[in-house]
Chain A
Amino acid sequence: MSIDLWLAYRHMLRSRLFEEAVAVLWEAGWISGEMHMSAGEEAIAAGIVLQLQDGDALALDHRGTAPLLMRGVHPLLLLREFLGLPDGLCSGMGGHMHLFAPELLTASSGIVGASGPAAAGFALAAQYLRPGRLAAATFGEGAMNQGMLMESMNLAVAWRLPVLFICKDNQWEMTTRGASVTGGNLRERAGAFGMPALDVDGSDVEAVWAAAQEAIRRARQGEGPSFLHATCVHLQGHFLGDQLLRLASNPLSDLDTTTAPMLKAFFRRAGAPLNERLRGISQVMAMISQAPTRRIVQGKDPLVLLSSKLASEPDRLQEIEHDIKAEIQQVVETALVNLEPQEAGQS
Chain B
Amino acid sequence: MRTMSFANAIDDALAQGMSSDPRIIVMGEDVQGLRSSLLVRFGPLRVRNTPISESAFLGAGVAAAMAGMRPVVEIMLVDFIGVAVDALLNHAAKIEAFSGGRWKVPLVVRSAAGGGYGDGGQHEQSLWGWLAHIPGLSVVVPSNPADAGGLMLAALQHDSPVVFLEHKLLAENWLSSLGAGGRKTVQYDVPEHGAKGPVPKVWTPLPIGQAATHRQGSDLTLVSVGVGVHRCLEAAQGLQRQGVSAGVMDLRTVSPLDKRAVCEAVSQTGRLLVVDEDYEEFGLSGEMAAVVLEAGIPVRYSRVCSQTTIPYARQLEDQVLPSTAAIIRAALNLMEY
Q: How far is the CB of A3 from chain B (nearest CB, A)?
A: 33
**In B103-133, which residues have CB < 8 Å from any A CB?**
117-123
- Most chain A C-beta atoms within 10 Å of own C-beta, residue among B121, B122, B312: B312
Asked if residues B19 and A270 are in contact (CB atoms below 8 Å), the reply is yes
CA distance A112 to B83 in the complex (A): 9
* Chain A contacts for B42, CB-based, 8 A: 271-272, 276-277, 280
- Complex: chain A residue closest to B182, CB-CB: A241
**Interface flag for B259 (CB, 8 Å):** no
* Chain A contacts for B39, CB-based, 8 A: 280, 283-284
- Stretch touching chain A among B51-59, B239-247, B266-274, B284-292: B51-59
- Complex: chain B residue closest to A83, CB-CB: B313
- Complex: chain A residue closest to B80, CB-CB: A111
**Interface flag for A321 (CB, 8 Å):** no
Contact with B along A267-286 (1 / 0, CB 8 A): 01011110011011101100
* Chain B contacts for A283, CB-based, 8 A: 32, 39, 44
Asked if residues B36 and A284 are in contact (CB atoms below 8 Å), the reply is yes
* Chain B contacts for A175, CB-based, 8 A: 30, 32-33
Which listed residue (A28, A110, A147, A280) contacts B122, Cβ 8 A?
A110
CA distance A113 to B56 in the complex (A): 14
* Chain B contacts for A276, CB-based, 8 A: 42-45
Q: How far is the CB of A124 from chain B (nearest CB, A)?
A: 21
- Stretch touching chain B among A93-101, A156-164, A191-199, A218-226: A93-101
- Most chain A C-beta atoms within 10 Å of own C-beta, residue among B11, B29, B46, B186: B186
Which listed residue (B18, B30, B181) contacts A240, Cβ 8 A?
B181
* Chain B contacts for A182, CB-based, 8 A: 51
Asked if residues B315 and A84 are in contact (CB atoms below 8 Å), the reply is yes
Asked if residues B179 and A284 are in contact (CB atoms below 8 Å), the reply is no
CA distance A258 to B187 in the complex (A): 21
Known contacts A145-B53, A257-B176, A280-B47: does B183 contact A27 (CB below 8 Å)?
A: yes
Which listed residue (B8, B44, B312) contacts A95, Cβ 8 A?
B312
Asked if residues B311 and A92 are in contact (CB atoms below 8 Å), the reply is yes
Known contacts A110-B120, A175-B32, A345-B186: does B41 contact A94 (CB below 8 Å)?
A: no
**Interface flag for B37 (CB, 8 Å):** yes
Contact with B along A115-158 (1 / 0, CB 8 A): 00000000000000000000000000011011110000000000
* Chain A contacts for B51, CB-based, 8 A: 142, 145, 173, 181-182
**Interface flag for B82 (CB, 8 Å):** yes
Known contacts A93-B313, A111-B83, A182-B51: does B173 contact A257 (CB below 8 Å)?
A: yes
* Chain A contacts for B314, CB-based, 8 A: 32, 84, 344-347
Known contacts A84-B118, A241-B183, A279-B44: does B55 contact A147 (CB below 8 Å)?
A: yes
Known contacts A33-B312, A284-B36: does B186 contact A174 (CB below 8 Å)?
A: no
**Interface flag for A287 (CB, 8 Å):** yes
Which listed residue (A32, A113, A280, A341) contacts B179, Cβ 8 A?
A32
Determine the main DSSP class of A at the interface with B.
loop
Interface residues on B, range: 35 or more
CA distance A143 to B56 in the complex (A): 13
- Complex: chain B residue closest to A81, CB-CB: B312
Asked if residues A277 and B123 are in contact (CB atoms below 8 Å), the reply is no
Contact with B along A239-259 (1 / 0, CB 8 A): 111111010000001100110
Known contacts A85-B313, A280-B43: does B122 contact A34 (CB below 8 Å)?
A: no
CA distance A341 to B173 in the complex (A): 25
**Interface flag for A109 (CB, 8 Å):** yes
* Chain A contacts for B312, CB-based, 8 A: 32-33, 81, 84, 90, 92-95, 98
**Interface flag for B185 (CB, 8 Å):** yes
CA distance A299 to B245 in the complex (A): 63
Known contacts A146-B52, A257-B176: does B30 contact A173 (CB below 8 Å)?
A: yes
* Chain A contacts for B15, CB-based, 8 A: 265, 268, 271
- Complex: chain B residue closest to A90, CB-CB: B312
- Complex: chain B residue closest to A88, CB-CB: B313
* Chain A contacts for B311, CB-based, 8 A: 84, 92-93
Q: How far is the CB of A316 from chain B (nearest CB, A)?
A: 37
**Interface flag for B50 (CB, 8 Å):** yes
Taking A84-B316, A258-B173, A271-B19 as known contacts, 6 extra A-B pairs with beta carbons closer than 8 A to each other, sorted by chain A number, are A32-B119, A147-B83, A176-B32, A272-B41, A276-B43, A347-B317
Query: What is A's interface to B at a CB cutoff of 8 Å?
Result: 26-29, 32-35, 81, 84-85, 90, 92-95, 97-98, 109-113, 142-143, 145-148, 173-176, 180-182, 239-244, 246, 253-254, 257-258, 261-266, 268, 270-273, 276-277, 279-281, 283-284, 287, 341, 343-347
Counting from the closest, the 6 A-B pairs by CB-CB distance are A241-B181, A32-B118, A29-B185, A276-B43, A84-B313, A95-B312
18 A-B interface contacts by CB (under 8 A): A33-B179, A93-B312, A93-B313, A98-B122, A145-B51, A176-B29, A176-B30, A181-B50, A243-B177, A265-B40, A268-B19, A271-B18, A276-B42, A276-B43, A277-B41, A280-B40, A280-B44, A283-B44
